[in-house]
């Protein structure tokens, strides 16, 4: 009997183990399956997209059609910001490899070079994107959908954005656009590396201030031979997955509400099956400036019916109202939403990282030796020599002195263009000339003038003119939030305000994405006259002088210099307070001024007289031309 009982216990114990094993296996099998079909990478794109959109409520759908789409936690859908820039390198996202501005790349006439550049940009974009996700960041300029290239035809120098384009020739613009798109989107059979977005569709250029009211009326031949070829090539040959519609009207209709442009030509003739995104706040123009409709819901309905899927702006917040009022159907909402989620899935955003080989591109490639070598090749090929009179170039190595004259000679900002990233080691022309000639040749520098009237030449305010009690510099109070609340984390004296923190916090223990700093002390001017006093920042700042607010500014899109003019007397002490705050990565701040200098012309003449050769660094600056910039200079 005892033997039977032992056998019985053994059999029962074995059976229990088997049951536990089977149960665990079933559980593991169940757990290995994603909770929703749209999360299953083994299903078709159509099955996944239909499943996802079918689970959304109308208000959730509408929010996903805004550029800053929020998360949907109940479905495990993370937030996503569609706004990213890559005109000539990954832009507005801190350090990256910066290539020549687009019009400079066009001057290379090199399609293979353009493809290699776009491939490099896309690789850095992928590296940045996945690094941001690992750090828990999914904000603006940290995504994979890039609003580049700008392939409008540069016909009007008053536009101010011509340097963003590939110039005035439709054929050249098309050839370069195709290679840019192919390089950005990659050649993987399942996943896109990034999504490229040719812009601004269409017939968009001319005086920049008129873009919100202008109606482009042109004949059919000019449309087909001038303004559309580059877009057609980018879509049909390049397989671009997105297009951005323009601010202006075309033949009476706002471009983002144009049935002729979007439905007839883009989707009908060219069979485009990607998504259309509006230029930023362009749909608001429908009722604010174009006056073609009277309200936000009507504007949203008009744009959606025409085929604009994604709104950079806020007007699509009114799509729910438009549906409930019967201005547009929910079926059209679903149609656009499916295009958007299709692109996100084709970028691998809902798949395990191990399935998307682009996700393994390391952050170490940013600004790598090979990437800088490619940027140098592009810079060399972009140079256009118009005339070499008397074979002046190359210079004789026996030249003993060179005068470098001009405000652009030693200004890093001139190197950057616009819609740019920040290069790792920028070299100004003056620095490059000095490195090239070494100690054998004397290099004299004179600024000569400002870039233009009311465009001062800024430099960081040196420590010898800043004081905190009896110490050179300003007292800095560092707060672990962006509102200067509570006690500062640390207090210290900073000799100057000249900081680039990039993705790092100012000091160990502080947040990288949300902090503030207050600097206080006195400033003592070295000469009497009109000073331009301000800051070069990525973030927001205020400057108080003698307890009065001098200037306040905040921008999350670009590094920019803002200033005000003040009259200061030599040796006088002025109380100064500088407040800076940052709410996302890649923070930077510089306290700058332009010191009165009435002898600029005399200094330039003296340098020229004492040199064998003069190199004049002339030309424009990003402070003089760019998107919808207020420039207080005659002629701009």
Q: Which residues are catalytic?
A: 279, 625
For the chain, give the number of residues: 636
Contact 127/365 with Cβ under 8 angstroms? yes
Contact 254/289 with Cβ under 8 angstroms? no
Three-state SS for 104? helix
Contact 578/611 with Cβ under 8 angstroms? no
C-alpha 515/C-alpha 587 separation (Å) is 10
Nearest CA among 238, 120, 234, 193 for reference residue 343: 193
Tell me how far the alpha carbon of residue 433 is from its chain's centroid. 30
Contact 439/609 with Cβ under 8 angstroms? no
Handedness of CA 148, 153, 156, 157 (dihedral sign): positive
Residue 86 sits at the vertex; the CA angle it makes with 156 and 145, to the nearest 5 degrees, is 115
Nearest CA among 202, 337, 212, 316 for reference residue 270: 202
Nearest CA among 524, 586, 624 for reference residue 132: 586
C-alpha 551/C-alpha 546 separation (Å) is 13
C-alpha 608/C-alpha 411 separation (Å) is 20
C-alpha 96/C-alpha 381 separation (Å) is 20
Contact 186/122 with Cβ under 8 angstroms? yes
Which residue has 């959730």 as its token pair? 60
Nearest CA among 249, 239, 157 for reference residue 201: 249
Three-state SS for 267? helix
| Close Cβ partners of 128 (under 8 Å, ≥ 6 residues apart) | 90, 93, 94, 96, 142, 363, 366
Nearest CA among 628, 566, 581 for reference residue 479: 581
Cα–Cα distances in Å, from 479 out to 135, 535, 547? 21, 20, 21
Written as one string, the DSSP assignment of 346-362 is HTTTTS-GGG-GGGG--
Phi-psi category of residue 543: left, alpha or beta, with phi > 0 → left and psi -120 to 50 → alpha: beta
| Token pair belonging to 609 | 């007289």
C-alpha 223/C-alpha 262 separation (Å) is 14
């Amino acid at each position: 009997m005892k033997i039977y009982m032992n056998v019985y216990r053994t059999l029962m114990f074995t059976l229990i183990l088997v049951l536990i094993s089977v149960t665990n296996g079933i559980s593991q099998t169940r757990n290995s399956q994603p909770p929703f079909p749209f999360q299953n990478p083994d299903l078709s794109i159509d099955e996944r997209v239909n499943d996802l959109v079918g689970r959304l409520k109308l208000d959730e759908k509408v929010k996903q059609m805004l550029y800053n789409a929020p998360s949907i936690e109940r479905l495990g859908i993370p937030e996503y910001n569609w706004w990213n820039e890559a005109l000539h390198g990954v832009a507005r996202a801190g350090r990256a490899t910066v290539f020549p501005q687009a019009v400079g790349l066009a001057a290379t006439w090199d399609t293979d070079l353009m493809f290699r550049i776009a491939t490099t940009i896309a690789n850095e974009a992928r590296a940045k994107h996945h690094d941001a996700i690992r750090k828990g960041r999914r904000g603006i300029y940290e995504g994979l959908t890039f609003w580049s290239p700008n392939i409008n035809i540069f016909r009007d120098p008053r536009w101010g954005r011509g340097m963003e384009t590939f110039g005035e020739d439709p054929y050249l613009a098309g050839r370069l656009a195709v290679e840019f798109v192919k390089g950005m989107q990659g050649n993987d059979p399942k996943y896109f590396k990034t999504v490229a977005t040719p812009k601004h569709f269409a017939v968009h250029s001319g005086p920049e201030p008129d873009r919100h009211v202008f109606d482009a009326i042109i004949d059919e031949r000019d449309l087909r031979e001038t303004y559309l070829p580059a877009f057609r090539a980018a879509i049909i040959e390049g397989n671009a997955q997105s297009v951005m519609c323009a601010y202006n009207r075309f033949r009476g209709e706002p471009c983002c509400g144009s049935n002729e442009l979007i439905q007839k030509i883009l989707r009908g003739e060219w069979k485009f099956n990607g998504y259309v995104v509006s230029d930023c706040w362009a749909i608001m123009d429908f009722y604010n400036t174009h006056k073609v409709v009277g309200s936000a819901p009507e504007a949203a309905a008009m744009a959606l019916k025409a085929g604009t899927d994604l709104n950079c702006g806020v007007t699509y917040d009114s799509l729910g109202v438009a549906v409930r009022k019967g201005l547009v159907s929910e079926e059209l909402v679903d149609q656009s939403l499916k295009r958007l989620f299709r692109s996100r899935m084709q970028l691998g955003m809902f798949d395990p990282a191990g399935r998307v080989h682009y996700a393994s591109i390391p952050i170490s490639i940013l600004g790598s030796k090979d990437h800088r070598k490619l940027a140098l090749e592009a810079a060399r090929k972009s140079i256009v020599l118009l005339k070499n009179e008397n074979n002046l170039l190359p210079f004789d190595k026996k030249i003993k002195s060179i005068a470098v004259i001009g405000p652009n000679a030693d200004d890093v900002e001139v190197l950057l263009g616009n819609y740019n990233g920040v290069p790792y080691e920028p070299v100004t022309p003056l620095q490059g000339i000095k490195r090239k000639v070494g100690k054998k040749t004397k290099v004299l520098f004179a600024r000569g003038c400002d870039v233009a009237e009311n465009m001062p030449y800024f430099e960081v305010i040196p420590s010898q003119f800043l004081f905190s009690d009896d110490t050179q510099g300003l007292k800095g109070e560092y707060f672990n939030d962006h509102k200067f609340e509570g006690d500062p984390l640390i207090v210290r004296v900073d000799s100057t305000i000249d900081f680039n923190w990039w993705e790092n916090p100012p000091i160990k223990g502080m947040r990288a994405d949300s902090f503030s700093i207050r600097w206080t002390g006195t400033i003592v001017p070295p000469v009497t006259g009109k000073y331009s006093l301000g800051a070069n920042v990525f973030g927001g700042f205020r400057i108080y002088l003698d307890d009065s607010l001098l200037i306040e500014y905040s921008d999350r899109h670009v590094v920019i210099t803002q200033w005000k003019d003040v009259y200061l007397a030599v040796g006088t002490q002025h109380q100064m307070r500088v407040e800076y705050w940052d709410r996302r990565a890649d923070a930077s701040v510089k306290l700058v001024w332009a010191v009165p200098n009435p002898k600029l012309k005399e200094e330039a003449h003296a340098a020229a007289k004492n040199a064998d050769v003069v190199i004049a660094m002339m030309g424009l600056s990003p402070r003089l031309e760019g998107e919808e910039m207020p420039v207080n200079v005659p002629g701009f």
